[in-house]
Structure 1
Amino acid sequence: MLVVVLALLAALSNASSSVLQRRAAAEEPEGGAGLRQAARWLGRVLLRPHWVAGAGLLALSTVLQAAALGRGSLALVQPLMATELLFTLVVGSVVFHRRPDRGIWLAFAALALGLAMFLTSADPIVGRSTASAGLWTMAAGAALGAVTALVVTARAVRGAPRAALLGLASAISFALTAALLKEMTGRFPDGLGALLASWPPYATAVAGAVAFLLLQSAFRAGTLAASQPALTLGDALTSVVLGWALFGEQIMLGVRAAPAVFGVMLMGVGAAGLARAPSVSGSWDAASQRPGTDSVRPVP
């Protein structure tokens, strides 16, 4: 239960961070075209109280996620982080005074029910706290190969398919980042000095940066509705695989496989529906929206 609470608080903090930073961007008038004007606009946005508060919440989210991963399985924590979409809908609707319609609430219910069905059916079991260098080499190689293949394939297509492929590549990278973060928490007992002298902190930073850049590419390639389902499901399912391969985590299959698969399908439908909500996608009402202010995205 503590792991669930920590993961949900991390998702809530992430969602609130995104909404506040988007609010800061929406409040600042566009300064015109050009690199110098863009830099000045960004500098003003970064000084706004809403953006500073959002940055603090983002840091808090990382701490909460690390705490959850240190106590629970990767296969449990990462799917729970998908609730960030639900929290973004609620918090964004309050901050920007946008009441969701019935279709959005149905998508909300689909994602929540699908997540509950998947986690209840899979029932992830905690494994080891760290993984061997050999397992990390194989897992990182497989993840890198999959991301490279998806990026190369995405270059050959346009529109929604490209956004979906890049979204999936980003999801794999985010799942790998979470796995590396779990490795770091497993090494905390060795002391901070030993941790900083090892490779996981730096690999985590690199994997996180790659995931973020791929996500921005996915958003430029197509709509959020095209990339979000691949991102949500890809992160959750890749985390299950990495948890099993690296840390020996187990999930229940057998007769529970059918409701687990149905839950994953509901999560996909819900994620696609929520991606169209203004409070999730960033397409706020005309009174509060400014050009170029919908590019900030919450980190999974």
Structure 2
Amino acid sequence: MHSNLLAVLFALASALTIAWGTVVRHRIAEEAPADGSLRSSPFLNAISRPLWWAGTGTALLGYGLQVVALGFGTLLVVQPVLVLSLMFTLPLSARYDGRRISTSEMFWAGLLTAAVAVLVLLGRPLPGDPQPPLERWLPALIVGGVVLVSLERFAQRQIRREKALLLGIVTGALFGYVAVLSKAFVDIFIHGGVWAIFTNWETYGLILGATLGTIVQQYSFNAGALKNSLPAMTISEPIVAFSLSYLVLGEKFQVSTISGWAFMGLALLAMIISTVVLSRKGVG
């Protein structure tokens, strides 16, 4: 059943749970030892903490809600709403830090909400082909693989701030691929059942992408302050997902006028700017 309203509601629930998991895992990364021992590895240190598993479990629940949202609506509806996870991250992080959210943060949060509303309500996205042939996927997989591996290798040679930023971009891009593969996964399950899940490559691509994304995300958290990595991963995910949904899945916005596209462009720009500002102001 196609319902953008249900897609938005489940996407909002997903954004809330993802936000809590993000704050918890970053707190653990900040407390990781840096003594050069084996336990100083960001990922090994994180998985040894019960709280990390709680945060990861919450993030997985958020992902499950995202999958349900994708079952009701298009990727072009769900992805903008997921950006609102930042709005939930701000108060949660402020509570952990024992501080109040400023008036400026409230303004940018309002602008972010308005931008997402414009993209969803004005765009009125149309569904495409959630399970396109592999030939349509190959260029995106090859180009994306080369770019992301090169970016990750380059990031490892940078200092903490730049490293966190670059790894944040890689993390967001990986989850952008995961989002599109999730849409395919949902369609496969709905039309083919459980057996079809195990006989289609999208399932294994989804597992690989989610695993790599989780690992790189933990390293990006450990590389520096959350304000350096969170804006990059929060913005790169919908940009990559938007691009793939257009180029691979064939989803489209129902906008045909110049003024309509101008409003869409302004909304996208407002979403990017407000996300960056909120991330840097609200999370340390």
The SS at the match of 1:191 is helix
Any idea what SS the aligned residue of 2:214 has?
Answer: helix
Q: Is the 8 A contact 1:89 1:277 kept in 2?
A: no
What's the TM-score, normalizing by structure 2?
0.80
Aligned to 1:72: 73
Consecutive aligned runs of 4 or more in structure 1 exceeding 6 Å deviation: 29-32, 37-41
TM-score normalised by the chain length of structure 1? 0.77
Aligned mate of 1:257, from 237, 257, 261: 261
Match of 1:12 in 2: 16
How far, CA to CA, are the matches of 2:44 and 2:180 in structure 1?
Answer: 37
Structure 2 unaligned runs (5+)?
A: none
* CA–CA distance in structure 2, aligned partners of residues 157 and 84 of structure 1: 28
After TM superposition, the structure 1 = structure 2 runs for residues 114-153 of structure 1, keeping only pairs within 5 Å, are: 114-151=115-152
Residue 139 to residue 102, structure 1, CA distance change in 2 (3 Å): same
Q: Which residue of 1 aligns with 2:249?
A: 247
Q: CA deviation at 1:108?
A: 1.7
Aligned pairs for 1:1-300 within 5 A: 1-20=5-24, 25=28, 33=35, 34-35=37-38, 45-46=49-50, 53-94=54-95, 97-151=98-152, 154=155, 163-188=164-189, 189-219=191-221, 223-251=225-253, 252=255, 254-277=258-281, 281=283, 283=284
Shift of 1:151: 3.9
Aligned-pair CA distance for 1:94: 4.2
- 8 Å Cα contact 2:33/2:39 also seen in 1: no
What is the alpha-carbon distance in structure 2 between the residues aligned to residue 52 and residue 234 of structure 1? Answer: 25
Q: Which runs of 5+ in 1 are unaligned?
A: 284-300
By how many angstroms is 1:37 displaced? 8.7
- Assess if the C-alpha contact under 8 Å between 2:11 and 2:82 holds in 1: yes
Deviation at 1:236? Answer: 1.3
Counterpart in 2 of 1:288?
none
d(CA) in 1 for partners of 2:157, 2:23: 34
Aligned with 1:122: secondary structure? coil
- 1:177 CA displacement: 0.9
Q: What secondary structure is seen at the aligned counterpart in 2 of 1:275? A: helix
Whether contact under 8 Å (1:184, 1:195) holds in the other structure is yes
- Alpha-carbon RMSD across the aligned residues, in angstroms, is 3.4
Structure 2 match to 1:293: none
Give identity over the alignment, percent: 26
AA of the residue aligned to 1:167: G
